[in-house]
Amino acid sequence: MRPWKKIPYSRQSINQDDIEAVCSVLRSDWITQGPKVKEFEEALAEQCGAKHCIVVSNGTVALQLACMALEIGPGDLGLTSPLSFLASANCIAYCGGTPDFVDIDRATLCLSPDGVRRYCEEIKIPKVVVPVDFAGIPADLPGLKKLSEKFGFFLLEDAAHSIGSTYQCEGREYKCGSCHHTDLAIFSFHPVKSITTGEGGAVLTNNDRLAKKLRLLSNHGVERGVSRFLSKTVNYWDETTGWSSSPWYYEMQALGFNARITDIQCALGISQLKRLETFKKRRQEIVGIYNEAFVPLEREEIVTLPPWPENTDPCFHLYPLRLGVNSTVRRDDLFLELRKRGIYCQVHYIPIYRQPFYGQDHERDFGRFPETEKYFAGCLSLPLFPDMDHATVQYVIDAVIGLLSPS
Ligand SMILES: Cc1ncc(COP(=O)(O)O)c(C=O)c1O
């Protein structure tokens, strides 16, 4: 029997605590720009160990603001992984910069540091590199940091998939989003991600100057702190309080946006964040069950399992299964057959360089990305979310094995 009418590739997990947290904000005085925003920022900064966190309305705007804070502009090159959502490249283009792509590393499915090094040596040094922790697997951030020091580019971690993931480096453990090896990082809290606020995102950094800029840019470029006002005309010197200004005064110092997130959303985020470790454990459990079930198919090279690099402890956002050389079933047929059985898989992702917007503009040669092309030809993300019970996981396994096993 099919346990769910439609089994999505991912979905939110909402409990009574989440509902009560949201309702209590609705009963309070502040439904936006209130105390829950600061509380969520502090909780996120503590979770990943970054000094500053600025929460915003979604992950896309988080990336855009991060690029603006780095002053990406016309003539600047930004490199990212083609195996990502569009926003990882668009953030560079929003600022007038030029995005380009470097192939993925087979072992992580994330941006290849070796590819970035070759690009810097043979083509051009970018102003920013945006590695993506694909599926929750941390990109090789320490490797990329070494390159950023050598070539002088900024590093912006797209951690939209990887809140809760960790990686080891020289005997220490680091959290994705900690900015230990990067200048900036972003999260997304869309409902398919590991924790949700409905829509939402965050930018993290350990750099005080970037944090100040991000705060300004996320709220119309408006400054309200007296000590930071640029205009002297409305300020006056008060013997007891120092520089003062009328309480109604504010200054627009940059062309920012309304990228604000509400207290209603932040209350949900705070409540969800408390269960991040539980979500991570359940996601890893499901990945473990899938892996065990599909090992015999992998041995016959009918499928390839998702990577789980040794030095990482991923909070898996996706379960990207790949068809192997001995599969007699095409990916698109598998996709359709699973759909008939109520299993709604997804292809993550169409490589960004294949999008007409990028391909036509730059006449990109797909042959530059052999690993991404190979991955894209056979990938399919199976359902993975914490509320999947054992019967649902088994239903998916039986369907996949039934369709792929040689008869
Ligand atoms: C890797 C990646 N980066 C950025 C984003 C953008 O996040 P949001 O949907 O919150 O704007 C997404 C969302 O799907 C994503 O998967």
What string of pLDDT tens digits covers the 407 residues of the chain? 566 789 999 999 999 999 999 999 999 999 999 999 999 999 999 999 999 999 999 999 999 999 999 999 999 999 999 999 999 999 999 999 999 999 999 999 999 999 999 999 999 999 999 999 999 999 999 999 999 999 999 999 999 999 999 999 999 999 999 999 999 999 999 999 999 999 999 999 999 999 999 999 999 999 998 888 888 766 677 787 777 777 788 999 999 999 999 999 999 999 999 999 999 999 999 999 999 999 999 999 999 999 999 999 999 999 999 999 999 999 999 999 999 999 999 999 999 999 999 975 555 678 899 999 999 999 999 999 999 999 999 999 999 999 999 77
Within a domain: residue 67? yes
At 4 the pLDDT is 72
* Angle, CA 253 vertex, CA 252 and CA 259 arms, to 5°: 70
Q: Are residues 140 and 109 in the same domain?
A: yes
- pLDDT value at residue 105: 97
d(CA 202, CA 247): 29
Which residues, other chains included, contact 300 with Cβ-Cβ below 8 Å and sequence gap of 6+? 324, 326, 406
Nearest ligand 1 atom to alpha carbon 132: 1
pLDDT at residue 2, rounded to an integer: 64
| Residue from 81, 176, 190, 192 whose mutation best tests the ligand 1 pocket (most atoms within 8 A of CB) | 190
Examine residue 349 and say whether the peptide bond preceding it is cis (omega within 30 degrees of 0).
yes
Residue 244 is predicted with a pLDDT of 73
What is the residue with the minimal CA distance to atom 14 of ligand 1? 85
Closest CA to 111 of 76, 137, 90, 75: 137
Mark whether 177 and 281 lie in a shared domain: no
Q: Exposure string (b/e) for 201-213, b if CB count within 10 Å is 16 or more?
A: bbbbbbbeebbbb
Same domain, 315 and 260: no
Domain for residue 187, yes or no?
Answer: yes
Question: How far is 165 from 35, CA to CA, in rounded Å?
Answer: 27
301 backbone φψ class: left, alpha, beta (φ>0; ψ -120 to 50): left
Query: Residue 311 is part of a domain; what is its CATH number?
Result: 3.90.1150.10
Q: How far is the CA of 296 from the centre of ligand 1 (A)?
A: 34
Dihedral in degrees, nearest 10, Cα atoms 246, 249, 251, 252: 180
Q: Are residues 300 and 270 in the same domain?
A: no
Report pTM. 0.96
Q: Are residues 304 and 215 part of one domain?
A: no
The domain total for the chain is 2
At which residue do the structure tokens 């094995």 appear?
Answer: 401
Residue carrying the six token digits 């590695």: 131
Asked whether the beta carbons of 330 and 366 are under 8 A apart, the reply is no
* pLDDT at residue 3, as a whole number: 67
User: 359 and 218 in one domain?
Assistant: no
- Is the domain of 67 the same as that of 82? yes
Three-class secondary structure assignment of 175-211: ECCCCCCCCEEEEECCCCCCCCCCCCEEEEECCHHHH
Closest to 36 (Cα-Cα) out of 200, 178, 223: 200
Burial of 265 (0-12, 13-18, 19+ CB in 10 A): buried
**9 belongs to a structural domain:** no
The identity of residue 288, as a single letter, is G
Domain residue limits at 144: 16-223+254-274
Do 48 and 127 reside in the same domain of the chain?
A: yes
Asked if 181 and 303 sit in the same domain, the reply is no
Q: What is the pLDDT of residue 233?
A: 67
Q: Which of 64, 67, 176, 188 for a ligand 1 pocket mutation test, highest count of atoms within 8 Å of Cβ?
A: 188
Q: Output the pLDDT for position 362.
A: 53
* Residue-level pLDDT at 360: 56
Would 264 be classed as within a structural domain? yes
Does 8 map to a domain?
no
Instruction: Tell me the backbone φ, ψ of residue 254, rounded to 5 degrees.
Output: -155, 165
Q: How many CB atoms lie within 10 A of CB 389?
A: 10
Short-list 270, 389, 352, CA closest to 85:
352
What are the two backbone dihedrals, phi and then psi, of residue 136, each rounded to the nearest 5 degrees?
A: 105, -5
Domain boundary among 274, 309, 337: 274
In sequence order, the 6+-apart residues with CB closer than 8 A to the CB of 95 are 64, 67, 68, 72, 73, 76
User: Residues with beta carbon inside 6 Å of ligand 1?
Assistant: 58-60, 84-85, 87-88, 132, 158, 160-161, 188, 190, 201
Q: Are residues 183 and 50 in the same domain?
A: yes
Residue 4: inside a domain, yes or no?
no
Residue 112 belongs to domain with CATH number? 3.40.640.10
Give the pLDDT score at 228.
87
Specify the pLDDT at position 238.
77
Q: Give domain status of residue 48, yes or no.
A: yes
243 in any annotated domain: no
Beta strands in 206-342 (DSSP E): 222-223, 235-238, 242-245, 251-252, 303-304, 312-313, 319-323
In this structure, the answer to whether residues 184 and 321 fall within a common structural domain is no
CB-CB contact of 127 with 153 (8 Å): yes
User: Could you tell me if 113 and 147 lie in one domain?
Assistant: yes
The first and second tokens of residue 176, run together, are 């994705």
Cα–Cα–Cα angle for 148, 153, 158, rounded to 5 degrees: 85
